[in-house]
Amino acid sequence: MLNRKYKIKTRLILIISFLVLSQSLAMGQKGENLIYNPSFEEYYTCPQKIEPYGYMSEAVAWWQPTGGSADYYNKCGSKQCNVPKNKLGIQMPRTGVGMVGIYTSKTTYREYIQTEFKEDLEEGETYKLTFYVSLSEYSAGAVATIGALFTVDRIEEDTREMLTAQVTTKYENGISQSISTYLKPQIVNPYENPLIDTENWMKIEGEYTALGGERFITIGNFYPAPQSNCVDLPYLTYLLPGAYYYIDDVSLHCLSCKEKQVIQNNITITKTKDEKRYEVGQVIVMENIFFEFDKSIILPQSFVELNNLINLLNKNPYMKIELSGHTDSKGSNNYNQKLSYSRVKAVYEHLIGQGISSKRLQYRSYGATKPIADNDTDEGRAKNRRVEFKILEL
């Protein structure tokens, strides 16, 4: 009788364990969110002022890809940038104490936000994107077509209008013409569902099958006003010239990436990717480190690249590296040497500030003396303006 009770108890434990595991798998086992700072809680400095031609540099890992000035809000901010009440509306963040805001506009003016994923999207895998918006009651109307664009490359444009792709077409008579075409977001809120709620947060979500290599996401309205389903609402105060939305809680999870596989006897195998191998003497270019023009102030676009290096150093506790700063050939040798020194030192100090021991780091500046591309072209000069690291010990 005792043996029978033991068998029943054991069987129940196995069933419960299997159900828990099955439920976990049914929920998708989506793994970690591929978005850094998804609810805008991390910041470099507290926001102080809404600037019509400003640059959103306060929120870690987020930036504006165009001249349209997106805005950052936080509980620690000034009166203009505080929550829930600020210069452009009244809204509590959906979670935490931070959020951002953008104009989607009833004109051609647009604002966008952009970030870089923790890792490239994999070809053929399906990903689910979710983010939330809330309309400012100070707006002059609402729109429907807020969406998200996945790209391999970073978008960097000076325009303050809607993002377009420039395509050059040659005709038979030899005349070439530049034609603007609208960039089409892969995920967009339905046209028939205008985003009109000023009190609650409205969810925008969708699934995307990756072509492979996508690393950036840009959020905003990519459609002209006639195609955006602009609506006027009686409860809006019409203090702003367009439709203004707060954004919070951005998440991207892979739905089809199978991190775990259940086989017989309820054994779970965890699949891991092959780790990249490193060796002493290897030199690695940090391709996405950006600074303010002619300064050593690190821009928020650099966060992902710096975080990748920090993760590498944390995973390899015996690794020691030498950072090196480089410039293009514009300017005098003395100026370039000083600029590359101040910039590489800024990276060095950032790593120390994130907990990396100074005993594991060295840094040197080379100015324009070690180009890796042609300094006669804009593209070549951009490649030469770089920070590298060399592995000294493992």
pLDDT in tens, 122-135: 999 999 999 999 99
For 237-274, what is each residue's pLDDT tens digit?
999 988 999 999 999 999 998 754 444 444 444 444 44
Which of 148-162, 174-188, 284-298 shows the highest mean pLDDT? 148-162
For 96-120, what is each residue's pLDDT tens digit?
999 999 999 888 899 999 999 999 9
Question: Is the pLDDT assigned to residue 156 strictly greater than 60?
Answer: yes
- Considering the domain architecture, whether residues 99 and 245 belong to the same structural domain is answered as yes
pLDDT of residue 180: 64
Nearby residues of 209 by Cβ (< 8 Å), 6 or more positions away: 124, 125, 126, 127
Three-point CA angle 92, 60, 84, nearest 5°: 15
pLDDT of residue 69: 92
Tally of domains within the chain = 2
Mean pLDDT, range 201-215, rounded to an integer? 97
- Considering the domain architecture, whether residues 101 and 238 belong to the same structural domain is answered as yes
**17 falls within a domain:** no
- Considering the domain architecture, whether residues 195 and 343 belong to the same structural domain is answered as no
pTM: 0.73
Residue 7, class by beta-carbon neighbours within 10 Å (0-12 exposed, 13-18 middle, 19+ buried)? exposed
pLDDT of residue 55: 79
Nearest Cα to Cα of residue 296 among 358, 335, 367, 347: 347
Task: Please report, for the domain that includes residue 339, its CATH number.
Answer: 3.30.1330.60
- Considering the domain architecture, whether residues 294 and 184 belong to the same structural domain is answered as no
Question: Is the pLDDT assigned to residue 15 strictly greater than 80?
Answer: no
- Considering the domain architecture, whether residues 130 and 75 belong to the same structural domain is answered as yes
List phi, psi (to 5°) of 177.
-140, 135
**13 falls within a domain:** no
Question: Is the pLDDT assigned to residue 9 strictly greater than 80?
Answer: no
Domain boundary among 217, 236, 254: 254
pLDDT of residue 171: 54
Amino acid at 11: R
Q: Confidence band (pLDDT; 50, 70, 90) for 382?
A: confident
Domain span including residue 293 = 283-393
pLDDT of residue 393: 92
- Considering the domain architecture, whether residues 246 and 319 belong to the same structural domain is answered as no
More confident: 182 or 332:
332
More confident: 60 or 275:
60
pLDDT of residue 264: 42
- Considering the domain architecture, whether residues 292 and 156 belong to the same structural domain is answered as no
Question: Is the pLDDT assigned to residue 278 strictly greater than 80?
Answer: yes
More confident: 93 or 259:
93
Question: Is the pLDDT assigned to residue 13 strictly greater than 50?
Answer: no
**20 falls within a domain:** no
Mean pLDDT, range 81-89, rounded to an integer? 96
241 touches 104 (CB < 8 A): no
pLDDT of residue 38: 97
**270 falls within a domain:** no
- Considering the domain architecture, whether residues 148 and 193 belong to the same structural domain is answered as yes
pLDDT of residue 126: 96
Q: Which run of H or of E encompasses 155?
A: none
- Considering the domain architecture, whether residues 249 and 311 belong to the same structural domain is answered as no
**18 falls within a domain:** no
Long-range CB pairs of 71-74 (<8 Å, 24+ gap) are: 71/47, 71/100, 71/101, 71/102, 72/40, 72/43, 72/47, 72/98, 72/100, 72/101, 73/47, 73/98, 73/99, 73/100, 73/101, 73/246, 74/40, 74/43, 74/46, 74/47, 74/98, 74/99
Give the rounded distance of the alpha carbon of 260 from its chain centre: 27
More confident: 156 or 263:
156
Question: Is the pLDDT assigned to residue 379 strictly greater than 90?
Answer: no
Question: Is the pLDDT assigned to residue 181 strictly greater than 90?
Answer: no
pLDDT of residue 182: 76
- Considering the domain architecture, whether residues 389 and 340 belong to the same structural domain is answered as yes
Joined tokens for residue 308 = 């990748």
Question: Is the pLDDT assigned to residue 378 strictly greater than 90?
Answer: no
**100 falls within a domain:** yes
Report the percentage of the chain scoring pLDDT > 90: 62
Task: Please report, for the domain that includes residue 176, its CATH number.
Answer: 2.60.120
More confident: 20 or 82:
82
- Considering the domain architecture, whether residues 295 and 183 belong to the same structural domain is answered as no
**171 falls within a domain:** yes
Question: Is the pLDDT assigned to residue 275 strictly greater than 70?
Answer: no
pLDDT of residue 26: 41
- Considering the domain architecture, whether residues 247 and 301 belong to the same structural domain is answered as no
**42 falls within a domain:** no
Separation between Cα atoms, residue 254 and residue 272, nearest integer Å: 15
For 29-50, what is each residue's pLDDT tens digit?
457 899 999 999 999 889 999 9
